[in-house]
A = this chain, B = another copy of it.
């Protein structure tokens, strides 16, 4: 298989996101101003970035401080952003008449017929149909859930808003306190969990699952990795959060609802960002668990952020094989090649380095505790949107740091730097190996 350079696609992707954020900022600012709301340009930028990057961190109360037309603009930005990476990588090259080279993110797409423009259009249409179908389907239980508390018209609007916001892992809600009034119910949180998990698996996995269900061929190592890591994190997160918050944040709930809300709070940090119980009531242990889940995030080519389940899985597999002293890293009969390992390593290092610099920056400008700043930074970088409540009170400098984190977290720091720094022609010289003792 010939290896294509995907350089132009990476640059288009970065530019596409930047344009969408810029346009969104101006429209949001203008629409809200026309409706008589005084939204500052910085807050418009923050809100637009948060929507396009499907983060959900908010400096203004979505339901109270944004006019209804502005909420519509927000929803559109979320939908565009949520489909962003996938749509951009398939649509942009077509629009600009480029041959489609998706070496880096879409190696798997060969099997889906991505190597021809017709195939790309077919995939794009499948993605859109899948998205709209899931959103429409899950709007029903959401509508039923909201109907218990709201008038039918309002309930329908809320169902549509939350269906899109949850599937796109955006985490925005017209409710100022997210879903905290629904901590004692089952329909709304249940439907949100299903949407978040489906949105977070990524389209290729959904497509492969559907194909496998039809033709009964075995799952690829990639899909297995996504499913195993996703299931493992949800299970482990639920148990640990139930343990840490039983007598803390979940104190006032009956036992069954403690478990139910632990499940919700195990799913939502990767990287939906809704909450049913306020994060500021969580124990240090609970926040630490949430931090880890936010760090890992969702799966590649999905609406979620984080370093991604596959990256996390590769890190774990490499570490496990290393301490076992095995030469090769083999999972499900497939070897993880050195280039993939280096990619996982680079992504994790750059992710952590960016977070580290951001937290140092935040420490300089903000009076809040180290833990809270760490939490908001992880939330922004992972495009999660959970908050311990300090984001609206940040200084302009602090808000700008979070804007950069959301952008990098969504576009992918590796994509971003690769788009800027990559040399298109790698050297072919053979070098002798260095003898480099580690640790």
A interface, CB within 8 angstroms of B: 5, 7, 104-108, 204, 220-222, 225, 283-285, 288-289, 292, 300-301, 307-308, 310-311, 314-316, 318-319, 321-347, 349-350, 356, 359-360, 363-364, 369-371, 374, 412, 414-415, 417-418, 421-424, 426-427, 430-439
Known: A363-B283, A433-B334. A439 touches B300 (CB 8 A): yes
Q: In whole angstroms, what is the CA distance A363 to B248 when docked?
A: 14
Q: Contacts A108-B435, A289-B360 given; 15 further ones with Cβ under 8 A?
A: A107-B437, A283-B363, A288-B363, A307-B439, A314-B438, A315-B349, A325-B418, A326-B423, A327-B339, A328-B426, A333-B431, A335-B432, A336-B434, A369-B369, A370-B374
Give the contacting residue for A324; candidates B288, B314, B412, B422; CB below 8 A. Answer: B422
> In whole Å, how far is A9's beta carbon from the nearest beta carbon of chain B?
13
Q: In whole angstroms, what is the CA distance A222 to B438 when docked?
A: 10
> In whole Å, how far is A85's beta carbon from the nearest beta carbon of chain B?
10
Chain B residues within 8 Å of A300, by CB: 437-439
Give the contacting residue for A422; candidates B323, B415, B430; CB below 8 A. Answer: B323
Chain B residues within 8 Å of A356, by CB: 288, 292
B327 and A346 contacting across the interface, CB-CB below 8 Å = no
Q: In whole angstroms, what is the CA distance A426 to B326 when docked?
A: 5
A335 and B431 contacting across the interface, CB-CB below 8 Å = yes
A414 and B322 contacting across the interface, CB-CB below 8 Å = yes
Give 15 pairs: A residue, B residue, CB < 8 Å, sorted on A.
A222-B435, A222-B436, A225-B436, A310-B439, A319-B345, A322-B342, A325-B423, A325-B424, A327-B426, A328-B426, A332-B434, A333-B432, A369-B369, A369-B371, A414-B439
B318 and A342 contacting across the interface, CB-CB below 8 Å = yes
Q: In whole angstroms, what is the CA distance A288 to B359 when docked?
A: 9
Question: Of residues A308, A327, A345, which shows the largest number of chain B Cβ atoms within 10 Å of its Cβ?
Answer: A345
Known: A328-B431, A439-B412. A417 touches B323 (CB 8 A): yes
Chain B residues within 8 Å of A283, by CB: 363
Chain B residues within 8 Å of A339, by CB: 327
Q: In whole angstroms, what is the CA distance A414 to B439 when docked?
A: 8
Give the contacting residue for A371; candidates B5, B316, B322, B371; CB below 8 A. Answer: B371
Q: In whole angstroms, what is the CA distance A343 to B324 when docked?
A: 11
Chain B residues within 8 Å of A364, by CB: 285
A301 and B414 contacting across the interface, CB-CB below 8 Å = no
> In whole Å, how far is A292's beta carbon from the nearest beta carbon of chain B?
7
Chain B residues within 8 Å of A335, by CB: 430-434
Q: In whole angstroms, what is the CA distance A105 to B439 when docked?
A: 8
B105 and A334 contacting across the interface, CB-CB below 8 Å = no
> In whole Å, how far is A414's beta carbon from the nearest beta carbon of chain B?
6
A334 and B422 contacting across the interface, CB-CB below 8 Å = no
A345 and B318 contacting across the interface, CB-CB below 8 Å = yes
Known: A222-B435, A342-B341, A438-B311. A421 touches B371 (CB 8 A): no
Chain B residues within 8 Å of A423, by CB: 324-326
B340 and A434 contacting across the interface, CB-CB below 8 Å = yes
Chain B residues within 8 Å of A307, by CB: 439
Known: A370-B284, A370-B370. A438 touches B322 (CB 8 A): no
Nearest CB to that of A431 among chain B residues?
A: B335
Nearest CB to that of A297 among chain B residues?
A: B439
A322 and B334 contacting across the interface, CB-CB below 8 Å = no
> In whole Å, how far is A10's beta carbon from the nearest beta carbon of chain B?
9
